[in-house]
Structure 1
C-alpha cells in the first residue's frame, strides 16, 4: 500500500468525529470507532469506540462484545482485568451493570491499533519499534502470569501504540469467543495466526498460549504477517519469534525469558525487569508518520462535538 493510501485509511476511521454523534453505549456518547474495517486488516476481538461522558468532561475508550461472543464471559473478563495491576495495559476503570448491553471503559489515550500503525507507516515497523512492543508486552504478560492470569486475547488489534508506549487491551477474547472444549478456529474476532493451536482446538487458555500470540504479534509488527516465512523476520529476532511460535507449548519461552532475550537491560544499565520497557521509550522509538497520525487523532477527538442522541444503540 502506498503512503497516501495508508494515511487516507487512517484518517477515514477518525474523521467520523467531525459529524454530530447520535449513538450511545451505556451513558457514553460515541465519537468514532477506533478500528477501521475492510480487507487487509486482521480481525478485532471487540467493538471499540472513542466516547465521551454525558457531562462532556471525560473521554474514554469504550469496548463492547462482538455479535456471537458470550456477553457474560465478556463482563467476567473485563471485571478480572480491572483488578489486575500490571504495566502497559489500558486499564479497565468501569464495567457495565449485569442488566443491559455489556461494555467496559478505559481512560482514553491517543493511540492507534497496531494494524493501523503499519498502514500509516506504509509497511512493517522498524526493528527498534518491534523491540519496544515486545518488551512492553512481555513485561505485561510476565506480571499477569505471575498473578495467575492468562491474557487470552493478544493479537495485533489488541495492541495500541501511542506516544507514551504500547498498551494492551482485549483481555479474555478467546474465552469470550467460545467455552473450553469447543473449536475456536474461525470464530469472529479471533486472528487465526495469533491463536495457539491448543487454544484453537478448544483447550483452556494458559500462559504458553499468550507467548504464542506474542510471537505472532512481533512477527506481524516486523513483517505485516502473523505467520511469516522465517526468512522474512529480522535476523536478530528470528530465533526468538520462532521459539514463541512453536506448536509445542512446553518448548515456548516464558514471558520473562522473552523480556531478557530482546534484550532490554542493555538499553539502560540501571534498568530492571520492572522498568526495562520504559527504558526503551527514548525519542524516535515510534516512527514519525505514526506519531503524526496519533496527534491528528487527538486533535480530531478533542474537537468533536457531541449532541444528545435520540435512542441508545442496541
Structure 2
C-alpha cells in the first residue's frame, strides 16, 4: 500500500480511494471502499490511453467479458465505468499474494498446493470457456491465492475464440513464457480453450519449481523456445510431469481438456493446509493490514455528478455497463474460524502491473503498538571458514557480526532482538554444502553472512537460492552471481582496476606499464589486468602478459629481466602472496626500480615474510579499509578491543559489521510481522544503509550493492600501511 498522490482523485465512481496498490503502463490500481464499506480494487486507465478508441474498445470488452463469467474461482466484478473519463472498473479485493509473488517470497509451492491450484484453475477456465471466452493471459501474476482457493483475474485480452482482434496481424498478445505456440505466432488464428490449457501448464510448472518451463531471456528468445523447443520440467513432482507435458504439447488438439485436468489432478477440496505456512502467514499479515484501514463513512452521491450508473439495490456495487446482470455463484465452503482469523479470503485484485507494497502499513507509528513485552527474536547466521586456510577472514566475519548483533540488542525500544548462529565450513566446498543445507533447513535463519570463501560461495549459492535465504557476501568478489538471494556488499574483483589506475596515473605518472596476470589465480587476474589496460589505453603504453601457473623461481627471474628490458616504469602483478613474493625478489635482483603494484590477493603476512626487504614500496588495491585508520570506524575499533581482549579489528570485520546492520535495517523496515525469507530478499533491494565503511544500496544496472568501496595499501617499514580510499585518491 502506498499513499495517494496529490494528483490522485478522492473517489472513482462511488468508491472512496484509500491508497495505491500498484501502477503499470496502462493505469493505476487503487484500494477503495464501496458505499457499503467493503474493500475494492479499482483500476483506472491512464489518460494517454483513455482517448485511444482501440484501447477503449478493449477496455469495454474487458468489462463485458468479466461480467459474463460466473465462477467461485474468478474475480467478481463489482462495477465499472467504461464510458467515463477516465474509464475504470472495480473488483472485490483480497489481500492474498499472486502466485508470482508467493513463489518469489516463499519459494516453490509443495505438490499438494500445486494440485489444488491446478484443479481450481481448471474449474475456473472451464467456466470461462463455458461463457464462450478464452482468457489468453493465464500467468502467475494473474492468479491470486486465498485461503479457500485461487482467484483468476484480469480479462483485459480475453475474447471469443473467433472474435475480432483489436491489434494488428503479427502482434503477440499475452505474456511470453506463459502463452501458447499459437499465440506466439501472432496471427490471432486458432486460439481457443487449448491455448489457456497450455498457459495453465506453464503456470503450474512455475509454481512447482520457481522456473519458467521455457526459460528466461528476451521475449523473442522465449517465444522461439515456446514454439519449437521442449519444456524444461526438472523439479516438477514426478506424478505431475506427464500431465504438465501433455498440457504443453505443441499441438492444441493433443492437450487435455479442463475436465480431464480436474480428473487427473484428483485434488481434494482445499482444507486447512492447502497452502504452505509461509504463504498463510503472508495472507494473515495482509489481512491484518486491510482490517486496520480507516473506515470511511458511507457517502451518497448523485450519479450525474460522477458519471457513474445508479447504485444497485444492495448498495454494494455499480452496475456494469454493457454486461448482463450477474447472479453470484454460491460461495465455496468457508475455512475454519481459526483459519479466518489468520487472514481474509474471497475476491481478487485486478492489477495492471506492479505489486502491492503491503509492508508500508507495517511501518506506521509504532507508538500505538501492543503493550511492551518480550521482543521477538530473529536469527541471522555467519557461514565462514573459521579453521581452514582462510580462517583469518572467517573470524573477522564472526567478530564483526557479533558486534553488530550486540549493537542491535542494546537499542532500547527496538522492535526485535537478534540471535546469531555461527557455522564453520573450514574452507572446504563439500563441507560448505552441508552447512548450507543445515542453515537452509533451519526456518529460524532469515539471512546468512557469508560464506567467506569464494569456492565455498560457488558451492552453496544455489542451495541458498532454493531456500530463498539471503546470502550477504562480504569478502568474495570473483564471480558475478545471478541468483537473487546473493547480496554482494563489495565491488567485484575486476573493479580493483580503478585504484590501480588512479595510483599509476596520478602518483606514478606511468608512461609504460607491464600488467602480469597469474594463471594460478584464474580468470580474476586476467580480468583485473584487462580492465586496467582498457582504462589506461590511449594514455600510456601497456603490455599484458600471462604468467603460467607452473612458473617457478627461475621462471620469475627470466620474467623480471623481461620487465626490465621492456623499459617499463611500473609493473602490476595480480597474484597470491607466495607468487607475488617470488616476483618481488626477482624484480629486486634484476634491478627494477619502477613502481610495483598488486591486489588484495597478496595483501597478507605471508607476502611480507617471504619477500622480506623486497616487499618495501609495493602498493596494493583492496576492497576493505583499515578500521584503525578511519575516523568513521574509531568507535567500532574501540568496541572490538573491549569485546575481544584488546585485539585490533582485522580486515573485513568492519565490513561484516556493516553487512549485519544492513540486514538489521531491512528487517526493521520490513517489520517483525512481515518477516519471511523471500520478503527479506526483496526488502534488501529497497533498503539504503549508510554504514561506517560504505553506503549499501541496490544498483540494478551493476547488479551490486556497492561499487565504490575500494582502497590502497602500501608496504613501508616492513608492514602494511593504509593509504586511504579511492575517492580521496582521485580528488
Structure-1-length-normalised TM-score: 0.74
- The equivalent of 1:94 in structure 2 is 79
| Partners of 2:23 and 2:29 within 8 A in 1 | no
1:117-169 CA distances to partner (integer Å, 9 max, x unpaired)? 11221x11111111111001101111222332212221111100011210010
Secondary structure at the counterpart of residue 230 of structure 1: coil
1:207-247 CA distances to partner (integer Å, 9 max, x unpaired)? 11111111111011111123251223221111111111122
- The equivalent of 1:63 in structure 2 is 43
- The equivalent of 2:103 in structure 1 is 118
- Hey, what's the Cα distance between the residues in 2 that align with 1:191 and 1:46? 18
1:30-71 CA distances to partner (integer Å, 9 max, x unpaired)? 44444599xxxxxx9975443224x57231022345876823
- Hey, what's the Cα distance between the residues in 1 that align with 2:43 and 2:21? 10
TM-align CA RMSD: 3.1
In the TM superposition, residue 105 of structure 1 has moved relative to its aligned partner by 1.1
Secondary structure at the counterpart of residue 183 of structure 1: coil
Are residue 285 (structure 1) and residue 274 (structure 2) matched? Answer: yes
Are residue 79 (structure 1) and residue 64 (structure 2) matched? Answer: yes
- Hey, what's the Cα distance between the residues in 2 that align with 1:45 and 1:174? 16
- The equivalent of 1:50 in structure 2 is 31
Which of 224, 231, 234 aligns to 1:231? It is 234
- Hey, what's the Cα distance between the residues in 2 that align with 1:35 and 1:248? 37
Are residue 108 (structure 1) and residue 66 (structure 2) matched? Answer: no
- The equivalent of 1:250 in structure 2 is 253
- The equivalent of 1:210 in structure 2 is 196
- Hey, what's the Cα distance between the residues in 2 that align with 1:64 and 1:214? 28
Structure 1, gaps ≥5 residues long: 1-13, 38-43, 268-278
- Hey, what's the Cα distance between the residues in 2 that align with 1:59 and 1:156? 23
- The equivalent of 1:194 in structure 2 is 178
- Hey, what's the Cα distance between the residues in 2 that align with 1:173 and 1:33? 23
- Hey, what's the Cα distance between the residues in 2 that align with 1:291 and 1:46? 29
In the TM superposition, residue 29 of structure 1 has moved relative to its aligned partner by 4.1
Secondary structure at the counterpart of residue 173 of structure 1: coil
- Hey, what's the Cα distance between the residues in 1 that align with 2:26 and 2:143? 11
- Hey, what's the Cα distance between the residues in 2 that align with 1:159 and 1:46? 19
| Partners of 1:20 and 1:306 within 8 A in 2 | no
1:274-298 CA distances to partner (integer Å, 9 max, x unpaired)? xxxxx2x111111112111112112
Q: Which runs of 4+ in 1 moved over 6 A?
A: 66-69
| Partners of 2:45 and 2:86 within 8 A in 1 | no
- The equivalent of 2:150 in structure 1 is 166
Secondary structure at the counterpart of residue 207 of structure 2: helix
Which of 112, 115, 120 aligns to 1:128? It is 112
Structure 2, gaps ≥5 residues long: 215-231, 297-305, 307-731
Which of 289, 299, 302 aligns to 2:288? It is 299
- Hey, what's the Cα distance between the residues in 1 that align with 2:255 and 2:286? 37
- The equivalent of 2:166 in structure 1 is 179
- Hey, what's the Cα distance between the residues in 2 that align with 1:46 and 1:102? 10
